[in-house]
Chain A
């Protein structure tokens, strides 16, 4: 359960102030997977980061009655001088997860071989992404936040990721921001629309889609 209470967020751009949320009061109840629809630039990523707690709102409060992940695959917290192993241990400690099992999971899952014990800065971009994805999956979050899914690794690894993710979704919720309606249809049972500083949540995905289509229609 993540509850937004009169949350306001805006940021300055060269073209003036851009409002992502204006006094939004919205609940994301547990047990549902939400797909967040919105045009490019509507602030989907900012919303995900607000939900994650990576960014704080200008006003209002976000209450999390669940363990919320950092955005899936986000590897920005990894330190170049630390090995993959040390970086994962750090994440595990931060989230209060058992360090050893987490490391074991990531070591097996990311398939980095001996690189797992080498400094992160020596990794290729694919290896970095694999480590980041595995680290997020290794911790048992109640809610996984996904911002615009990207492709990771070869087909074998992608398949493995999707299976592992699906396994997680048996127990955890997902909040997914993407403009790919296929992805949302596949993972989500509820929808939300972010547009013009307003965040609308729909109990039914189909309703969200039809509303969104109408919005696009009037905009065009």
Chain B
């Protein structure tokens, strides 16, 4: 720039030529020379500032712009320009002052309002930024560029819904809208969690600008969020191919593989990263992180874990209400019963046939023997089958439940390792199954007898049912005791079986206590099972009215046995669940 040129107009032409030939530095020099001559020329400072900014000398440009504002404080455009430069220089507070001034001078300028919004956003004042952005849009409803800027600011201020609304409208009106618009819309949709819409939007953006690496990168992130690892990897790969000098796409791709647990792929990308960008510190750290997480895992395989921080703790379960606990316990006992039905006769070929066959054989044998001994007339009723049936069924309900429950704990020890299953449950399930089996067997036998014409319905079904219920309670009570005792004395069941054999003879199964001498009967009446049988029989034969039958005694003993059994189980529960 020759100093010889002193003429103002010549300088002005030079500046114009320089600025239009892409030589902003020289143009700036020309303006400076002119300003030496006319120091109060505000327009000159404005031009100088513009040239300096174009030349990349932001600080000088800011100084010149501020000088122009100083000279002409009422020019809105100058204030706006200075504000924009201050924004660019990162001086948010000064920019805000300047732009606020500019907006006051030009309240209808979308550019000034947009810049003001940006200044607010830079200072983190989201609400005011959003308000300014909205005003900017209102000031120039047709301006696509301004609207896009405003939308971006809205998004940054945490108002993605508004931004998305605005962008959707713009995208509709502008056919073949600018790819930047679609890119912004995609970001807004993503912030809103509408990943599919976001994917569609970025698809539009890529249709208009297929070689924009950043768009591919964004698309990859969307695929990632949607759980489409393959799609995400492909998009990141595309981005990496378009931007061979940037490590970022590859780094993101590696993170994706790492998060998806595809350690082999992640390692491959990591190797490529190290090879191509050996000096990139961030990449090196990322690869190191990968190797750190690639430790030996739970089953010896190399697998990686996602970051633990990504997980929210679950809310604690409320303490279960009584009803819930009862329901859970019923569920457990039900499951145990189903399981027992499958395993009870698992090793017998006949399965449940046995449960039916045993009493049939038993009753037939008794009938055959005593038919001969007693000259063809049973003590009560008309047929031996029914008489022995009424003796045997209560006895079986008692014996099957009480001794069947003996091995409930020892036979199900592994199940007690499941926290929801307690020793109470396994004993109860076994008892329930035994009683139910016997009741079903009793019903089938009775139906069978009816079919061959040797029996009819009991005269009082209710009485018989109550008798069985009391007997079942007695059997289950003893069963609880047996189950607990068996844990500590394994041979207890053998002793108990001997006891049962004694019961067989003293419970009036194949005789009526009425035929006994009174002192014998009085002794036998201490046996609760005798009452069971007589109670059951009294229901079958209306004519049978044993005066020694003491129902409250049986019920009392049964309740006592149940309470005893529950108490023993509860008191020793801690020792019952020890691994055997």
- Are A and B bound to each other? yes
Chain A interface (Cβ within 8 Å of chain B)? 1, 29-33, 49, 52-58, 64-68, 70, 74, 76-77, 79, 81-82, 86, 90-91, 93-96, 142, 146, 149-152, 155, 158-159, 161-163, 165-166, 169-173, 180, 182-183, 185-187, 189
Q: Are A186 and B573 in contact (CB under 8 A)?
A: no
Q: Are B314 and A94 in contact (CB under 8 A)?
A: no
| Residues of A contacting B338 in the complex (Cβ-Cβ under 8 angstroms) | 90, 93
Of chain B, the residue at the smallest CB distance from A68 is B419
Please tell me if B414 contacts chain A, counting CB pairs below 8 Å: yes
| Residues of A contacting B334 in the complex (Cβ-Cβ under 8 angstroms) | 93
Q: How far is the CA of A162 from the CA of B579 in the complex (A)?
A: 30
Are A31 and B313 CB-contacts (below 8 A) given A55-B579, A70-B418, A166-B261? yes
- Smallest beta-carbon distance A65→chain B, Å: 4
5 contacts between A and B (CB under 8 A): A31-B314, A56-B577, A93-B331, A159-B301, A172-B314
Are A186 and B331 CB-contacts (below 8 A) given A77-B415, A171-B314? no
Q: How far is the CA of A56 from the CA of B436 in the complex (A)?
A: 32
Please tell me if B319 contacts chain A, counting CB pairs below 8 Å: yes
Q: How far is the CA of A80 from the CA of B419 in the complex (A)?
A: 21
- Smallest beta-carbon distance A113→chain B, Å: 21
Of chain B, the residue at the smallest CB distance from A190 is B308
Are A54 and B316 CB-contacts (below 8 A) given A79-B339, A93-B338, A96-B331? no
Q: Which of B301, B319, B343, B573 contacts A56 (CB 8 A)?
A: B573
| Residues of A contacting B346 in the complex (Cβ-Cβ under 8 angstroms) | 81
Among A29, A30, A52, A77, find the residue whose CB has the most chain B CB atoms closer than 10 A.
A77
- Smallest beta-carbon distance B409→chain A, Å: 14
Q: Are A81 and B343 in contact (CB under 8 A)?
A: yes
Q: Are A161 and B298 in contact (CB under 8 A)?
A: yes
Q: How far is the CA of A93 from the CA of B338 in the complex (A)?
A: 10
Q: How far is the CA of A149 from the CA of B297 in the complex (A)?
A: 9
Categorize the interface residue count of chain B: 35 or more
Of chain B, the residue at the smallest CB distance from A188 is B308
Q: Are A81 and B347 in contact (CB under 8 A)?
A: yes
Q: Are B319 and A55 in contact (CB under 8 A)?
A: no
Q: How far is the CA of A64 from the CA of B418 in the complex (A)?
A: 14
Q: How far is the CA of A94 from the CA of B342 in the complex (A)?
A: 16
- Smallest beta-carbon distance A13→chain B, Å: 14
Q: How far is the CA of A34 from the CA of B549 in the complex (A)?
A: 64
Q: How far is the CA of A79 from the CA of B577 in the complex (A)?
A: 18
Interface residues of B in 34-76 (CB under 8 A from A): none
Please tell me if B520 contacts chain A, counting CB pairs below 8 Å: no
Among A31, A149, A162, A169, find the residue whose CB has the most chain B CB atoms closer than 10 A.
A162
Q: How far is the CA of A149 from the CA of B319 in the complex (A)?
A: 31
- Smallest beta-carbon distance B324→chain A, Å: 10
Please tell me if B365 contacts chain A, counting CB pairs below 8 Å: no
Please tell me if B323 contacts chain A, counting CB pairs below 8 Å: no
Q: Render B289-303 as a binary contact track against A, CB cut-off 8 A, 1 for contact.
A: 000010111111101
Q: Are B296 and A183 in contact (CB under 8 A)?
A: yes
Q: Are B417 and A54 in contact (CB under 8 A)?
A: yes
Q: Which of A32, A79, A142, A152 contacts B299 (CB 8 A)?
A: A152
Among A77, A91, A94, A142, find the residue whose CB has the most chain B CB atoms closer than 10 A.
A94
Interface residues of B in 517-533 (CB under 8 A from A): none
Q: Are A171 and B311 in contact (CB under 8 A)?
A: yes
Please tell me if B132 contacts chain A, counting CB pairs below 8 Å: no
Of chain A, the residue at the smallest CB distance from B419 is A53
Q: Render B335-351 as a binary contact track against A, CB cut-off 8 A, 1 for contact.
A: 10011001100110000
Given contacts A31-B312, A76-B417, 4 further A-B contacts (CB under 8 A): A31-B313, A81-B343, A96-B331, A169-B305
Q: How far is the CA of A146 from the CA of B317 in the complex (A)?
A: 21
Q: Are A65 and B298 in contact (CB under 8 A)?
A: no
Please tell me if B332 contacts chain A, counting CB pairs below 8 Å: yes
Please tell me if B158 contacts chain A, counting CB pairs below 8 Å: no
| Residues of A contacting B282 in the complex (Cβ-Cβ under 8 angstroms) | none
| Residues of A contacting B317 in the complex (Cβ-Cβ under 8 angstroms) | 64-67, 142
Q: Are A77 and B574 in contact (CB under 8 A)?
A: no
- Smallest beta-carbon distance B341→chain A, Å: 11
- Smallest beta-carbon distance B400→chain A, Å: 20
Interface residues of B in 481-527 (CB under 8 A from A): none
Of chain B, the residue at the smallest CB distance from A155 is B301
Q: Are B316 and A186 in contact (CB under 8 A)?
A: no
Q: Which of B311, B335, B419 contacts A52 (CB 8 A)?
A: B419
- Smallest beta-carbon distance B481→chain A, Å: 21
Q: How far is the CA of A165 from the CA of B303 in the complex (A)?
A: 11
| Residues of A contacting B417 in the complex (Cβ-Cβ under 8 angstroms) | 49, 52, 54-55, 70, 74, 76-77
Among A58, A70, A93, find the residue whose CB has the most chain B CB atoms closer than 10 A.
A93
